[in-house]
Amino acid sequence: MANLWRTVDSVEGSTPVHAKSTTTATGSPQTMSTPSLSTRDTIALLRSLASAVESGLGILAFLQNDAATAALKPMARDRLRARIEQGGTLTSALQSLGSLDKFALALIQAGEQAGAIDRSLMTVVGILEERRAARRRLVAGFAYPILLLFIAGTVLPLPLIFTAGFGAYLAVAIWMPCFLAAAVVFFGVVVPRQGPDSMLRRLPTSIGFRMPVVRGALRRRGQGFFARVLGRCVESGVPMSDSIRAAASASGSDRLELRAGAIVSRLEAGASLVDALRVAGFFDQRFLATIAQGELAGNLDKTCDVLARDETEASARLLGGVTKVAIGVVLGLVFVAVGFGVVRGFLGYVEALDGIMEGI
């Protein structure tokens, strides 16, 4: 059985997902740091592959049919076809595109080993669609505050027109629109084009784990990701040591990923799964108790699926609440600033009128 951890972390003949794009000595292209497919294109690709498998058509046969793959990006289709024709697995071929993180790759690998690749592909499609919808909700939530900041940045300096002239006003008012435009380009264009494991993608999560309220939400999300990959791996018959490493990598927690070796060592020493997981210092007691129940009942895979759903939903609720509070704070500050600017502008306008009247 192929080693899941080795397949996900570094596929033979290629570098990890976050490496630079170069060419190996054998002439095969290595993985690129910038994803070659957008999230929408990745979803379309995975959905097409799942449909092909479900209909009884092999992956390679599907990729070799130009008519059936006409809707796919030619670059992605050709790279996948070349990798699989060379004897690579679907997981290694998808990793070469640089568009999927370790969490998604671990799920697909588990599906390959279990003979349920279509189900695994559709699971990943569902996760990607959830993430895409969450990003859209986040963007929509911040659209109004951004508009208010733009208005505030151009309204607050208005008194300068009466006191120092239009040039002085423009010199001050231009900074807020420029700042907002740069922020939109950075977070809307630059960051989405980075690879799943790039520093820009991982930095917000690393910072979030150091913030009191956000840390709890991210930990529950990490527990959900861990449980989902662990359940799929156990169901597929992947060795527990490889399952633990893959699930820890998928959690998004650097601390848990570093402690994966210690967890595996405890398991190999004869400890139960719960006792081994406790070494990481990452999982809460409720999560460990549920894992213990599944281990005793002999249905750990189903227990992990339920845990994954519950933890992910709880994390989404917590993060949604934090986002709403943040938006509320921004709106409050903007309203205060705009109100102050309006009052100040009115007073400046009155003073300017007084000066004109005195001159007359």
CATH of the domain at 47: 1.20.81.30
Confidence of residue 2 (pLDDT cuts 50, 70, 90): very low
Regarding whether 189 and 226 lie in a shared domain, the answer is: yes
Answer yes or no: are the C-beta atoms of 231 and 306 closer than 8 Å: no
Q: How large is the average pLDDT for residues 201-224?
A: 77
Same domain, 281 and 146: yes
In a domain, 88, yes or no: yes
- Based on the fold, state whether residues 72 and 205 are members of the same structural domain: no
Which sign, positive or negative, has the C-alpha torsion 127, 129, 135, 141?
Answer: negative
Question: E-assigned strands of 196-249?
Answer: none
Amino acid in the structure at residue 258 = L
pLDDT at 289: 93
pLDDT at 11 over 50: no
Structure tokens at 43: 């979803």
Q: DSSP 3-state assignment of 340?
A: helix
CA 331 vs CA 143, 188, 209, 335, 336: distances in Å: 11, 21, 25, 6, 9
Are residue 50 and residue 167 in the same domain, yes or no?
Answer: no
| Claim to verify: residue 95 and residue 146 sit in the same structural domain | no
In this predicted structure, what is the pLDDT of residue 277? 92
The two structure tokens encoding residue 270? 């004869």
Which residue has better confidence, 129 or 145? 129
Structure tokens at 115: 């003979």
pLDDT for 28 equals 35
Statement to judge: residues 181 and 292 lie in one domain: yes
Residue 60, domain member (yes or no): yes
Q: Using CA of residue 316, residue 317, residue 322, residue 325, what is the dihedral sign?
A: positive
Q: What domain count does the chain have?
A: 2
pLDDT at 346: 66
Q: Is residue 231 part of a domain?
A: yes
Of the candidates 92, 125, 129, 84, which has an alpha carbon nearest to the alpha carbon of residue 109?
Answer: 92
With a cut of 80, say whether residue 20 has pLDDT above it: no
- Mean of the per-residue pLDDT values of the chain: 77
Q: Which long-range contacts (CB under 8 A, 24 or more apart) does 330-335 make?
A: 330/142, 330/145, 330/149, 331/144, 331/145, 331/148, 334/145, 334/148, 334/149, 334/152, 335/148
Domain of residue 88: give its range.
Answer: 4-124
Q: Which of 96, 124, 152 is the last residue of a domain?
A: 124
More confident residue, 24 or 50: 50
Q: Please indicate, yes or no, whether residues 200 and 259 belong to a single structural domain of this protein.
A: yes
